[in-house]
Every structure is written in structure tokens, then in C-alpha cells.
């Protein structure tokens, strides 16, 4: 028994260091990892596993990229620079032709006295009208007066007012360019009368358009009216009912007058409505 214990003790003393040594060593397939020195790669030298292109700032040569009046995006740096008004003015003065004030040096050019551009100047064909001339004008047209005019008269009156407004605006801009001058009050009063007349012309034309549109809508629903009749080809646009024809015939017979309408079975009289 003692011999067995001594043998077991001796065997334990020989096997114990081998077991501890084996437990402290790593597995054989991990030995290369412990023998070489491992260094972590730097972030700049590391490669990405993604195949997509990196998001760099787009290099575009368009200086107006991002400028949109629809989305109200901001202006570019090139547009924020204030222009050189002095250099631009000098360049324009050098490039513009200078007027010839000497009558003897002017070239003799035949000008049409009835040219249409003369209508954009005052009656005296000078650049500005004095306040007394601006004050001499009548009142604006009323809508009741314009309702009595036909289309051609309204068209002529509209163009007269339009040319008058053009002349007044040109003279006002010229006075502002020359400096402190009289005539702005009279010019604004004359412009107000002109604009009022133009507004009344629009009102009358709008009333006529609504009247025509209502009549057209009623005619589309009327069975007696043919809206698609071609009057140039003598097509009939109005087809009265038989009851109306018989009633008109009976009324005319009772009065003793002959009816001008054809019999119901005969050819109908062509009638057009304007």
C-alpha cells in the first residue's frame, strides 16, 4: 500500500511540471502571431472595405452654380461685387457718339415728317413740356361714354392713351436726369387721367366679353340655334320650332295680312343671327 502511494507520488512529481508547461504555452497554430511584432495600421494608410467613391467636394467651373431665383438661393461671390460705375460711365462716354451742335457741320438727311416716331414726342417736337402745357388737358373718359363706342373707336382711343403715357413717362425720366425741375405735379395729374381712361376701356371690354360669353352659353343649350353653322357657305344657324311657325301664321291670317313665311312642308327661309 505504501509502495503504491510512493509510486503514485513519484509519478505525480514527474508529470506535474509537464502539465503546467503545456498549459502556459499557446496552441501551435497561434505561435506565428506571438513570434512576429504586430503594428496597427494608421488611419491614412488603411483601406476601406466599401467600393463606393468617397464624397469629395464637387469641383465645378460654373460660377453661377446654386443661384436660383425660383428657390431664392443666395448669390455667388462673383455677383456680390459692386460694379465699377465710374469706369463704366467713362467707357460709355467714350463709346457714345457726340452730338454735332454746329448746324454747318451736320449732314443733310431727309427725314419723313409723317414718321410714326414723331408721335412719341410732344406736339412741338421738343423733349420737355412746360407745366402750363402739361396742365392743359381734359378729364378722363367715363364707362358710360365708352359703352356707346364700337370696337374700332375703343382700339384707337387705347393707342392714343398708350402713346400719351409713354410720352409722360419719358418726360418724367428726363426731368429726373436733369435735376430739380418743375412739372412733376402736372405730369402726375395728366398721367392719372390717362390711366383712368385706360382702366375704363378695360372695364367696358370686360363687360362686353361677359355678355358675349353668357349669350354663347345660352345658345349652346338652345335647340333652335346651330353654333357650328358656317355662314359663309349659307348654312342655316337658326331653326324655329313648328309651333312657333303655325302660331305666327295664324296671327297673320287673323289680321288679314299675308304671311311672309313659307308653308311648313316647303323649303325653310334661311335666317342668320348676328
For the stretch 127-144, pLDDT in tens is: 888 889 899 999 999 999
Query: 160, 184, 162, 185: which is closest to 172 by C-alpha?
Result: 184
DSSP state of 145: H
Q: What is the pLDDT of residues 177-235, one digit of tens each?
A: 888 788 999 999 999 999 999 999 999 999 999 999 999 898 888 888 888 888 888 88
Query: Is the pLDDT higher at 29 or at 101?
Result: 101
In three-state secondary structure terms, 67 is: coil
Record the cell numbers describing residue 12, joined without a space: 505525480
pTM more than 0.85: no
In terms of C-beta density within 10 A (0-12 exposed, 13-18 middle, 19 or more buried), how is residue 129 classed? buried
CA distance 250 to 265: 16
CA distance 200 to 224: 36
Cβ atoms of 226 and 236 within 8 Å: the answer is yes
CA distance 230 to 7: 135
Cβ atoms of 143 and 197 within 8 Å: the answer is no
Name which of 71-80, 194-203, 257-266 the model is least confident about: 257-266
Strand partners, 238: 225
Query: 138, 136, 139, 128: which is closest to 182 by C-alpha?
Result: 128
- pLDDT score recorded for residue 273: 46
- pLDDT score recorded for residue 75: 60
Cβ atoms of 76 and 64 within 8 Å: the answer is yes
Provide the angle, in degrees to the nearest 10, between the axes of the packed helices 151-178 and 184-221: 150
- pLDDT score recorded for residue 81: 54
- Which residues fall within 8 angstroms of residue 236, CB to CB, at 6 or more apart? 226, 229, 268, 270, 271, 272
Name which of 25-39, 94-108, 213-227 the model is least confident about: 25-39
Record the cell numbers describing residue 234, joined without a space: 349659307
- Averaged pLDDT of the chain: 76
Amino acid at each position: 500500500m505504501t509502495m503504491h502511494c510512493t509510486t503514485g507520488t513519484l509519478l505525480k512529481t514527474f508529470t506535474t511540471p509537464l502539465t503546467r508547461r503545456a498549459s502556459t504555452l499557446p496552441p501551435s497554430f497561434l505561435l506565428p502571431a506571438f513570434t512576429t511584432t504586430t503594428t496597427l495600421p494608421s488611419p491614412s494608410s488603411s483601406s476601406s472595405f466599401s467600393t463606393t467613391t468617397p464624397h469629395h467636394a464637387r469641383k465645378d467651373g460654373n460660377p453661377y452654380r446654386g443661384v436660383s431665383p425660383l428657390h431664392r438661393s443666395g448669390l455667388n461671390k462673383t455677383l456680390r461685387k459692386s460694379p465699377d460705375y465710374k469706369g463704366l460711365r467713362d467707357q460709355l462716354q467714350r463709346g457714345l457718339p457726340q452730338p454735332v451742335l454746329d448746324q454747318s457741320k451736320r449732314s443733310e438727311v431727309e427725314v419723313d415728317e409723317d414718321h410714326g416716331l414723331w408721335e412719341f414726342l410732344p406736339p412741338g417736337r421738343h423733349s420737355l413740356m412746360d407745366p402750363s402745357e402739361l396742365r392743359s388737358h381734359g378729364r378722363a373718359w367715363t364707362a358710360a361714354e365708352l359703352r356707346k363706342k364700337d370696337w374700332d373707336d375703343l382700339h384707337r382711343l387705347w393707342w392714343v392713351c398708350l402713346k400719351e403715357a409713354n410720352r409722360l413717362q419719358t418726360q418724367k425720366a428726363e426731368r429726373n436726369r436733369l435735376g430739380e425741375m418743375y412739372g412733376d405735379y402736372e405730369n402726375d395729374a395728366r398721367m392719372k387721367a390717362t390711366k383712368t381712361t385706360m382702366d375704363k376701356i378695360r372695364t367696358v371690354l370686360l363687360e362686353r366679353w361677359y355678355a358675349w360669353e353668357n349669350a354663347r352659353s345660352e345658345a349652346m343649350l338652345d335647340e333652335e340655334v346651330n353654333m357650328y353653322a358656317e355662314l359663309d357657305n349659307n348654312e342655316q344657324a337658326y331653326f324655329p320650332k313648328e309651333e312657333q311657325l303655325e302660331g305666327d301664321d295664324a296671327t297673320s291670317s287673323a289680321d288679314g295680312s299675308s304671311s311672309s313665311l313659307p308653308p311648313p312642308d316647303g323649303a325653310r327661309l334661311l335666317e342668320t343671327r348676328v
